[in-house]
Each structure stands twice: as structure tokens, then as C-alpha cells.
Amino acid sequence: MVAGLAVVLGVLVGVATPASAHAILLRTEPSPQTTVARPPATVTLHFSEPVEAAFGAVRVYDVDGHRVDKGSLSRADGGRQVDAAVPRLADGTYTVTWRVVSADGHPVHGGFGFYVGAPSTISAVAVAGDQGAGTVLGWAFGTTRFVWFAGVLLLVGLVVGRRWVWTPAVRATALADSEAAARFRRRFGPALGGAWVAVAVAGAPGLVLQAANVSGLSLVASARPAALREVLTTSFGHLWLAQMALTVAAGVPVLALARSRTRRSLLGVGPTAWVAVLLALAGGLCLVAALNGHARTLGHPVVGVLSVAVHLVAVGVWVGGLAALVALGGSAWRALAAERRPALAGQVIRRFSRVATVAMLVVVATGILNAVLDLASVSDLWSTRYGQLIVAKVALLAVALVLAARHRWTVPRRLAAAGADAAAVSSFDRSAAAELVALVATVAVAAALVALVPGRSLALAARGPVNVERRAGAYTVQLFIDPTAVGTNQVHLSYVDARGLGAAEVTNTVVTVTPASALAAPGPPESVPMRLISPGHFVGDVDLPAAGSYRLRASLPSGDGASFDFRLRAASTTSKDTASP
């Protein structure tokens, strides 16, 4: 089981690299790689959801790499629009870099160029770009996220498992004073304390990690007071403070329940009251996790946040309870004589199955609701990485449900049958461990979803003009189609080298556009004549005669190239739909 959990953690960390952009840049004014006749008074960015400006800026540089914006930002449209004031700009090439923080706490960054009057006659000086978070930070985020979720789920599962499963079971079998009950009590305290420590230790560095994630600073620089104060002004910072306050408060009932193995109460309050307090605080932690994720940024935030919070609590009852049963229950009943184990194990399994069945139903119901809120269409399940992970989560959950059904209906009958022995209990121990691994893998995939863009956010981006990029050999190829409407469109294609400069050495490119209906048909695709207007930047005109799907292919003389799929919708004259090349 330990090896299985290690593999799960590795998959989670590998998938959940930090800072896949959750707010999506829908359009800019001026548009990328376009020429404006008059100097703009502001550079405006429109996002798919509200953004914050902690560590953020919209900076404008001239062709020589000198910053020319006024340094002041304003927001409009509920925080979805960010304006950077600029002085009257002279004719020439300008580069814009931007960094903001999504409502769910993830940094969003990028850059583009535009021209006033006409492009400069010289290449723009390279502007230091934002490369995003590194591998070490990705591992740190993935590991702490996994440990934090595991700790919260264990807090819920341990107290539910003891209060409503283990204690009634040992009483029903007259084993309350047995060595099995004593062993469970001795190990329950350290296990509960360990779960609380995991929540505290994994949650505490979140502020530093977020500072590094959204600022691009090193971890050392991000731990400085000035950086931490900046993060504390954001929604993430406010929620982090609430999370840590709940964690500290949860330490009191954890201490009280851990002491209960000595049968001494804390502050004169009985275990039942402390269980209620701890479950309420754990529910608060689940609510904070929901508020700090996708749920509050989509169409129905109240429903989404509550659904995610309830989902996490139910997962804690099922997964955390099963973990307690495997780790503590199995060890405890092995302290009994072989012939007495089936009776206790049968009682525990029957009681846990009833509790877990309710939790399963809640998990499935809220999981479906969450998917409906997150996805724009059924096709997102196979056309987006977010949807593909949801499918993987459902597959793992199906495996766990099959094993849970066996434990609900088959195992209790075997243990209650005449002649049941320790071998039947050992068989359950193994299958329960397998169910736990499947469930932990499900939780890992669910945690990885935090780092991906939901389908509804992608659908919002689909309402604007095509503005995407792909890799082609040593270059990044940026495509902008204006206005992405039926009729005549202008295609802007820019080749950017590793330094962030327009690739002056690229002087020729071949661009073709093919309707999806003609992809399988014989004959050459339509070629788009392109003209070079600045280093690495080509412009051409193409007629898109009807709504539907198209594929644009850009090729270099070296053979390297990139493909872009996009869609013109009949109901809208400005829409796009990107897919993998």
C-alpha cells in the first residue's frame, strides 16, 4: 500500500505544476501585433474573471527597452478589466508585459507587442519575460497540497470512524475493555495528532509558496516580510489567515480527543462535544479550500462553493474513515485471539459500510454537480485536460465503488458464517487496503484539477478572437486573427526566439488555412500570402467564407511548423475554439 501511495503522490506532483492560468486573457486594446493610427491613452486587458494586482503590473516598453507607462493601474468591470495609463506614445514598436493574480489565487502572465503609426525600423530590445514558477516550486506546491488534503481527510475520518463505527462495535461485541480496544485508544491519539500536524505543517508555508508563485521571486526572497505582506492583501492571503486560524483552533479538540485515551476530559468537556467542535472546524477548512479554488469564479459561486465543501467533508468520511479502519482497526483486532476477530471485524465493517454508503452518495451527487458547474459541454470531458482528469477520477472512483460494494454485502456474510476465521479477516484487510489506494488516487487526481483551467473558463476565452501560441522548433509562434469573423480576416503571425525577441532570422513562412470539411479531401490547402512587416512578424489576409472549424498551418523552410485549430460559430461573429495541434 505504501508503494501505491508513493506512486499516487508522484503522479499528483507531476500533473499539478503550479500556475496554469485560471483567469484567461480574452482581448487587449490595442490588440496584439496590430498597428494603431493614434497613440492609446491606456493599454487595456480584459480577463475571463476578476483579477488582483498583487505583485502585478502592466508594463509598456518602447523599442529600446525603456519603460514608458505611468506606473498606475485601474480596474473596471468588477475587476475583469485592467487599465495601464501611458503618456502620448511616439510612432514605433511597443512591448507589453503583464502579471496579475486570478480570483482563485493563481498568477497569470504574458506579453504582446503593438505598433503606433508603423513598426520601428530596428528590432525591439529584449524585455525580461515572466517564465512562471519553476520545477522546485511545482514539487513544493504539489506535495504540500497533497499532504494538506490528506491531513484534513484524516481528521474527519478518524473522529467519525471512532465515534460512529469503532466505539459502538466494541461495545456490541463486549470488547470495550479488551486489548484490542486499548490498542486502538493508544494509537488513535498519535494518529489524530499526526493528521493535525500534517494540516498545520503543509498549510503554514502556503503563504511563502504563493508569494513565490505570483511574484516570480525566489523562495528566500518570497519569505521576506514585504513579500508576505503583499500576499496578505489578496483574497488568497485572507483565506490563508482564516485557514491557519481554523487550524490552530482545531488543535484544542485534537488535544482533548487525544487525551481521551487516558479517560480524562479537557476543560470538563466530554468527547462528544469535542468531536462536534472538531468536525465543525474541519468543515470550515473544507469551506476555505472551496473558496480558494475554481468554485467561486464560475457561474454559480454560492452553489459551487457549498458543493465543493460538502464534497470534501463526505470524502473525508469515506476515505479518512477507511484509512482509520485499515491503519488502526486492523492492528487492533489482531490483538485478539483468531477465533474472536471475525465478530469484531464484522461489526466494524457493517457499521462503517452504513456510514460510508451515505458518504458515497454525497460524494457522487456533489461530484456530478461540480463537474456540471466546471464544464462548458460534455465534449470537454475528452477535449480538455481538465475533463480528461475528471474521467480518470471517475474511473478510479468506480474501482473503489466495486470494492466498497464487496465490503458492504459480501464480507460481512463471510465473517458471520459459521467457521469464519482469521483468514477471512486478513482477506478483508488486503481488499480494504486496495480500496484505500484507489480512493487516495482519486483524491490525488482531484487535487491536481486545482492546477488546470476548467472548461467554462476555456469557453469564455472562445468568445474572443483567436489569440494563441504554439511551439515550432526553437521558436514560439504567436497567432492573432482579427476579427475572427466570417469574411475577410487579417492573420498576424509572429516568431519569437528564446530571448523573447522577434526572430529576425525568420524571413519566410508558409501559411495555409483549410476548412475542417476539406481536411480529408484531396488537393492542396488554400495558401495565405504573408508579408514581413517587422522582425519575425508576418501579416496576411484570408477570407473565411462560412461558420465552422478551420485549421491554420504555419511552416518554416527548415520544416518546423505549428498547427492551430479554431472555430467560427454561426451564432457569433467573434469566437474561437482552440485545440491541441
207 and 175 share one domain: yes
Does 441 share its domain with 557?
Answer: no
pTM summary value:
0.73
pLDDT at 379: 77
Cβ 336 vs Cβ 344: under 8 Å: yes
Distance of CA 58 to the CA centre of its chain: 25
Structurally, how many domains does the chain consist of?
Answer: 3
Tell me phi and psi for residue 468, to 5 degrees: -135, 170
Q: What are the tens digits of pLDDT across the range 377-398?
A: 787 788 777 888 888 888 988 8
Pair 452, 489 in one domain: no
Residues 164 and 291 in one domain: yes
- Residue 11: its pLDDT value, please? 39
| 523 located within any domain | yes
Neighbours of 533 (CB within 10 A): 14
Residue 126 lies in a domain: no
Asked if residue 377 and residue 472 are part of one domain, the reply reads no
Domain shared by 442 and 343, yes or no = yes
**The domain that contains 91 carries what CATH number?**
2.60.40.1220
List of the chain residues with pLDDT < 50: 1-21, 131-132, 571-581
How many Cβ atoms are within 10 Å of 284's Cβ, its own excluded? 18
Residue 280 belongs to some domain of the structure: yes
Beta bridge partners of 112: 96
> How many of the other CB atoms lie within 10 Å of CB of 127?
18
Element (H, E) at 440: helix 422-448
Q: Which long-range contacts (CB under 8 A, 24 or more apart) does 164-169 make?
A: 164/351, 164/355, 165/321, 165/325, 165/348, 165/351, 165/352, 165/355, 166/324, 166/328, 166/329, 166/348, 168/347, 168/351, 169/344, 169/347, 169/348, 169/351
Residue 3 in domain: no
Q: Are residues 223 and 292 in the same domain?
A: yes
pLDDT of residue 435: 85
Is residue 201 located within the same domain as residue 340?
Answer: yes
CATH number of the CATH domain containing 534: 2.60.40.1930
Residue where a domain stops, chosen among 116, 146, 179: 116
Q: Does any domain span residue 555?
A: yes
The three three-digit cell numbers of residue 77, written as one number: 468591470
All three cell numbers of 303: 452553489
- The pLDDT, as a whole number, for residue 451 is 65
Domain assignment present for 14:
no
CA distance 267 to 259: 11
Considering the domain boundaries, does residue 544 fall inside one? yes
- 35-36 and 467-472 as β-strands: parallel, antiparallel, unpaired? unpaired
The tens digit of pLDDT for each residue in 280-293 reads 999 999 999 988 87
The alpha carbon dihedral of 205, 206, 211, 212 has a sign of: positive
Predicted confidence (pLDDT) per residue in 244-266, tens digit: 999 999 999 999 888 755 556 67
Per the structure, the complete domain to which residue 327 belongs is given by 135-458
Do 370 and 399 belong to one domain?
yes
Cα dihedral 540→128→25→14 (10° resolution): 110
Does residue 204 sit in the same domain as residue 108? no
Task: Indicate the residue among 430, 458, 486 that finishes a domain.
Answer: 458
Q: Burial, 419: exposed, middle or buried (Cβ in 10 Å; 0-12, 13-18, 19+)?
A: exposed
Is 123 part of a structural domain of the chain?
A: no
Type and span of the H or E element at 95 = strand 92-102
pLDDT at residue 574, as a whole number? 38
In the prediction, which pLDDT does 260 show?
Answer: 54
pLDDT, one tens digit per residue, over 422-460 is 677 777 778 888 888 888 888 778 767 766 667 666 666
pLDDT at 2: 40
Tell whether 42 and 80 lie within a shared domain.
yes
Is 246 found in the same domain as 325?
yes
pLDDT at 572: 41
Q: Of the candidates 54, 81, 116, which is a domain's last residue? A: 116
